[in-house]
Amino acid sequence: MASRLRKWQTEYLGRTLVTAFGLFVVVLTLGILGFLGYKGSATFIDYGHSLTEFLISSKWSPGEAGQSGSIGSAVFIIGSLEVSSLALLLATPLSLAMAIFIAEVAPQRLSTTLRSVLEIFVGIPSVVYGWIGLAVLVPFIADLFHLNFGFSVLSAALVLALMICPTITSVATDSLAATPNEYREASYALGSTRWQMIWHVKLRAAIPGILTGVVLGLARAFGEALAVAMVIGQSNRFASSLLAPTNTLTAVITANMGNTTTGSEYNDVLWSMAALLLAISLLFILLIRVISRRGQAS
C-alpha cells in the first residue's frame, strides 16, 4: 500500500500536475481567443457595420449610449503598421550587429557583461521608455526639424526601436552562441577568415533563431501601447510624413477604454480593434514560421 502510494507520488503526481497546467494554458488561450472574437464581433452584428468600413474607412466618430456613428479605423491600423515596421527596420540591423559583436567578436568578459546589460534593458518597463521618449526625444525631434511639437511617427518608431533592440539582440545572441562549435572549426580549417565564418556559416545556421527574435521584437512593437501613446501625438489623421503625429490601435484602446460604457458602439469597436491586433500578431507568427522553415530546408 505504502509502495503503491510512493509509486503514485513519484510517477503519476508530477505527470498529472504538468498535464493539468498544460491543459489550463491551452484552455486559457482558447478562452481569450473566443472572448475577443465574441466581443469584437458585436460591432458588426449588433451595430450592423461592415468589416470593410472598419478596415478601410478613416471616418472615425463612434457613437456612445446606444447611438451609432462611423467606426473607420484605417488611420490606426496604418499607424500601427508603419510605426512598428519602421521600428523593426531601425532595430534589426543594429541588433544583428550587436549580437554578432557579443557572440563572436567581444572578449569573454566584455561579452558576459554585455549580456547582463541586455537583460536589464529587456526588463525596463515600457512606461519608462515612453517617459524618456516624451522628455528627451520629442523635444529633440521638434528642435532638430524645427517643428512646433515633436510628437510624430518618427518619435514613436525610435522609442519602439530602442525598446525592441535588446529583445532581438538577446535572442539573436543566444542563437548565434548555440550554433555548434564544429561549424566554426570546419570553416576555419577550409581557410576562411573569421568574418567569412560568421557571415556564411554562423548567421546561416542561426537564421531560425534570429527570425524568432525579430518576431518577438515585432510582436512587442506592434502590441506596445503605453510608450507609443505617450509620443505619437494621438491625432486621428493619417501621418503626412514621418514627422507628423498620428495614432495607433493600441494607443486608441489605451486612451479610450476607460471612458466608454460597456455595450456602447464605441466600446465594442475598441474590442474589434483588440481582436484585430491579435489576428495580426498571429499572422506575423505564422509568416515567420514559414520563413524559418524555408530557411532550414534550403
Minimum CB separation of residue 200 from another protein in Å reads: 7
Rounded to whole angstroms, the Cα distance separating 193 from 147 reads 48
- Smallest gap, in angstroms, from Cβ of residue 193 to another protein? 6
Site for another protein contains 191 (CB under 8 A):
yes
Q: Which amino acid is at 16?
A: T
Rounded Cα–Cα distance for residues 17 and 160 (Å): 39
d(CA 153, CA 282) in angstroms, rounded, equals 24
Q: Please answer whether residues 159 and 227 qualify as being in contact, where contact means their C-beta atoms are separated by less than 8 angstroms.
A: yes
The nearest distance, CB 180 to another protein, in angstroms, is 7
Nearer to another protein, 206 or 275 (CB): 206
Cβ 83 vs Cβ 156: under 8 Å: yes
> Contact between 127 and another protein (CB under 8 A)?
no
Q: How near is the Cβ of 182 to another protein at its closest, in Å?
A: 4
Per CB under 8 A, the list member of 180, 240, 287, 290 interacting with another protein is: 180
| Location of C-alpha cell 524559418 | 292
Q: Give the nearer residue to another protein in terms of CB position, either 91 or 203.
A: 203
Site string for another protein, 203-242 (x = CB under 8 A): -xx-------------------------------------
Query: Applying CB under 8 A, which of residues 189, 258, 259, 262 lies at the interface with another protein?
Result: 189
Interface residue with another protein, options 56, 144, 190, 290 (CB under 8 A): 190
- DSSP-assigned letters across all residues of 43-73: HHHTS---HHHHHH---EE---TT---EE--
* Beta-bridge partners for 70: 61
Q: Where are the alpha helices (DSSP H) in the chain?
A: 2-7, 14-45, 51-56, 74-100, 108-123, 126-132, 138-144, 153-177, 181-189, 194-196, 203-223, 226-231, 249-256, 265-297
Residue 185 lies near another protein (rule: CB under 8 A) = yes
Per CB under 8 A, does 193 bind another protein? Answer: yes
Residue choice 6, 7, 59, 200 for contact with another protein (CB under 8 A): 200
Among 97, 105, 178, 186, binds another protein (CB under 8 A): 186
